[in-house]
Structure 1
Amino acid sequence: MPNFIFNPETFVTPGHGSDPGEWNDDDRKDITTLRYLYPEIAHWGDLAIGSAFGSYSFDILEVQWAEWMIKRDDSFLNYCCWRQLYGEWQFHLDIDKVDQEASHLWKI
């Protein structure tokens, strides 16, 4: 099975996957850290990484921006994979669901 390729356009308008976006200094620092922690999405622009993390924060954790989660956690990539393959997340705080149903789809 070929490696799963995370598509930044899952979280931004097509054609804008590598855009920098407009972020404050703190958010841009978080995005830089996320890029380092997740080499799987290092090719994404800041707009896509920030949008994905913001969506993850809101959909899974029900907060605007989960700054305390700026560390490696495969649940974030599981969420990105889920969204890319299945669309909108509608299970709210059910992080176990995303982990159980998506991790095997992108991990080698």
Structure 2
Amino acid sequence: MMSFVFDAKTFVRPGYETEQGDWASESMRKFAEFYPELSHWGALALAMAWQGYSQDVWLVSWEDINIKERDESFLDYCCWVQTRGRWGWERDFDRLAKANDWKS
């Protein structure tokens, strides 16, 4: 069985998967360390995925990216959007956890 690969093109246009954009910062570098599964993504894709997660799940325009620990629901969200399309159930973390293809 092939392992799941997160595709940055889910959140940015083709050709921008590894771009840093305006997001190259110490806080973004620290954020990325919590998600080695996304190590092939640039800061721009990470920021766009986080923005989507903030808006779709937490219902805020931007949840602070200066997190102190890994939040697997962020990866569940990235997986959901990549494999199932748009997320529309706000903070339904039980449903979101079903997008666990990335754990295989």
Instruction: Give your verdict on TM over 0.5.
Output: yes
CA distance in 2 between partners of 1:14 and 1:64 (Å): 24
Work out whether 1:83 is the aligned partner of 2:81.
yes
> Which residue is 1:60 aligned to?
57
CA distance in 2 between partners of 1:45 and 1:74 (Å): 19
* Structure 1, unpaired ranges of 5+: none
> Which residue is 2:46 aligned to?
49
* Structure 2, unpaired ranges of 5+: none
Map 1:96-107 onto structure 2 (within 5 A): 96-99=94-97, 101-103=98-100, 105-107=101-103
**Partner amino acid, structure 2, of 1:19:** E
Structure 1 runs (4+) greater than 6 angstroms displaced: none
1:31 CA drift (Å): 1.9
> Which residue is 2:37 aligned to?
40
Which one has the bigger helix percentage?
1
The two structures, once aligned, show a CA RMSD in angstroms of 1.7
CA contact (8 A) 2:31 2:65 kept: no
Work out whether 1:5 is the aligned partner of 2:2.
no
